[in-house]
Each structure stands twice: as structure tokens, then as C-alpha cells.
Amino acid sequence: MEPIDAFIDRLPKAELHLHLVGSASVPTVLELARRHPDGMVPLSPAELAAFYEFRDFPHFSQVYGAVSSLVREPDDVAALVLGAARDLAGQNVRYVELTVTPYTFTSAGMPAAGLTEALDIAARSAVRDHGVRMAYIFDIAGEYGAPAAFGTLEHALTCPPEALTGFGLAGIEQARPRFAEEFRSVFAAAIAAGLHSVPHAGEMSGPATIWEALDGLHAERIGHGISCLDDPALVARLRESQVPLEVCPTSNACTKQVPSLDAHPLPRLLAEGLFVTLNSDDPPMFGTTLTEEYRRAASVLGLGRSQLADLAANGVRASFMNAGAKQALLAEIDAVAASAGSPAGAGSPAGAGSPAGAGSPAGAGSPAGSVSATTPA
């Protein structure tokens, strides 16, 4: 039988939970740090590796902010996007929804129009040069509250990149309750404009954050969502609705949201019949890649070929790419799985049907346009 690593390499993949700054390779971060030595980011590989050893999520957030502060010009943004596309292409990733936090750049002086132009140019180059279809999610760093929320919404509605498809919320989840009304307001406006709601929730906080994402922010997908297992009623809601969870095992272990990788609840989420996708989050910071997440799901968490193929298919089904591109990519995954004797969808609790909202073309009716405008099927 084909080695599991070779099978994983052959699987076409979609990446739905990847942050722009968190995608920056170690050489790229070191180059930015040398260019901007006032940024408090180490200048050597060994020191940067130590810098990336996180005590907890707040510490991770501080480190992420330090790296983000090195991205100061639109050309830096374009370079990060193309670096991500190059890295993903080497992993047989065909489509990515890349999360950008524009307020962190524009509030530091980067012109919104320049940022948007850089994202547009990079998306076109990604598909032309690397064969990776690129969509964008604009997200809010929740701890920055109302200014970040309304600033991000204004950018999304007045000066969006062509491939903008989603609107998200990340950062410190415990900071959200005091800004709940503001977040509900901007999400309602983004949804009315045709963007998809994809907030993080249940990563570092309990089930209440997920309930709010579903009922207050009308989430079509949930970033992380692992604390849902603490609430049987929420598990039942997610099982019935099949709202996808963007699960990132190594990220959760590195930020100490789970005790260790082998204690990650991914297998239980699957056993509960939830719709799960597998993602890498901030891979160089966590010493991983999307391919490595699949390998660890097999070697550490015990998933077999059929389950891995199901996860790859789920990433496509849960995406906001257009229907034709989905069908083509699912057919490729089915062909790889069948050649290994592990047809995708066989026995998968998440394989039946499509998640709510995922069947519509990305950005349909949105002033931001559609993914297919930049990334043809």
C-alpha cells in the first residue's frame, strides 16, 4: 500500500484558516526584522525560534502583533501573499481563503487603497504563477473594539479587494462581550453587502462565544470552535446545522489551548458528527504546514486515509469558491482517494450534504465582487 505521507501529498487541498502575517516564512520575518530593527523582533533564526515559543494565547498575540508591526508598505503585503501562495502550491493546495487584518496596517498609516491594490495584484499573481486561487477574509482584532470594527467594515465596503469574500473576528475572545453590539452591527452590514460571516469562536473561551457567533454574528463557519464539546446542546446545534468548524490542531497545542497535540479533540469532533475542516492557522509560527497537519492527524491522532480524504473534501465543501471549481476539486480528491482504496465520504459524519451557506458563489451580489473574478475556475 502507498505510504500515508505520499497519499497526503497527492491529496488536493483547500486552506480556509490561514492568517496573512502568520503565514510569513522565517526568512521573510528575519528580512523584515533586519529592515525594521525598531520592531522588537529577533534578528537570528535561533532567537526567532525562541521568540515563537508561546506561553499562552495572550503571549502569542503579543508576538503576532510584533511581527505584524514589521509589515509597513503595500509591497510587504504583496510579498507575504505571494510567499503564502508559493508555500501552499508546494503542498498541493489549490485554493485558500487568506485572512487579512487590514486595520492593523491602515491604523499605522498604510493607505487603504494601496493595501487593496497590493492584495489585488498578489491574488492575480498567485493563480497565474502558482496555480493557487486566492480569496480574502477581512477580520477584526476583537480586543481593539469599535474603532477596529467600524474601520474594517468601512474598508470592506468602500475599498475592497476584488477577491474579498468573508468578514471575520479574531483576537482575544474574552475581550468581546463589551463590544458585542458593535460587532453585531458591523457583521450585519457586512452580511447585507454579500460577505460571508466567518468569526473565530471557542478557541480560548467557552461555548458562549460560539453561541454568540451563531446567533449574534450569523456565522456560516466557525474558526476553531473546539470548546463546543463542553456544551451538549451546542454540539447538537452544530451537528444539526452542519456549520463547519475550521480546526487547527497544532495551533491549539502551541498556544496552550489543549494540553498537547495528542490530547486534541479532533477525533471526538468527528465522532460527534460535526462538520470539520483541517487548517494550519499561522504555520511558520507553530512549526507546521497544512500538509503537516494532515500527517499529524494521521500519526498522532490516528486518522486513516478515508478520514483524511473526507477532511480534504470538507475543506472544499465549506469554502466559498464557485460551484464549478468545487465540483472539479472534489472530483480530484475522489480520484486520489479511490486510487488508494479510500473513497472520500465513506463513513464520514461530516460528508453528508453541504454546510449551510457554502453552496452559494463567493461574494455573489457583493460590492466586493466574487472570487471567480480573480480566480477563475
Residues with catalytic roles: 203
Rg of the chain taking only CA atoms, in angstroms: 19
Helices 145-158 and 112-130 meet at what angle, rounded to 10?
60
Q: In what order do the strands lie in the sheet with 13-19?
A: 13-19, 93-100, 133-141, 164-170, 196-197
Q: Is the dihedral of CA 141, 203, 262, 14 positive or negative?
A: negative
Single-letter amino acid, residue 254: C
Residues with Cβ within 8 Å of 4's Cβ and at least 6 positions away in sequence, in order, are 295, 298, 299, 305
Residue 169, strand partner residues: 140
Cα–Cα distance for residue pair 194/167, rounded to 1 Å? 10
Q: In what order do the strands lie in the sheet with 222-224?
A: 200-201, 222-224, 245-247, 276-278
For residue 15, which of 148, 141, 130, 171 has the smallest C-alpha distance? Answer: 130
> Element (H or E) spanning 89, and its range?
helix 74-89
DSSP state of 70: T
Cα–Cα distance for residue pair 309/322, rounded to 1 Å? 21
Cα–Cα distance for residue pair 51/315, rounded to 1 Å? 31
Are the C-beta atoms of residues 103 and 152 closer than 8 Å to each other?
Answer: yes
Are the C-beta atoms of residues 350 and 270 closer than 8 Å to each other?
Answer: yes
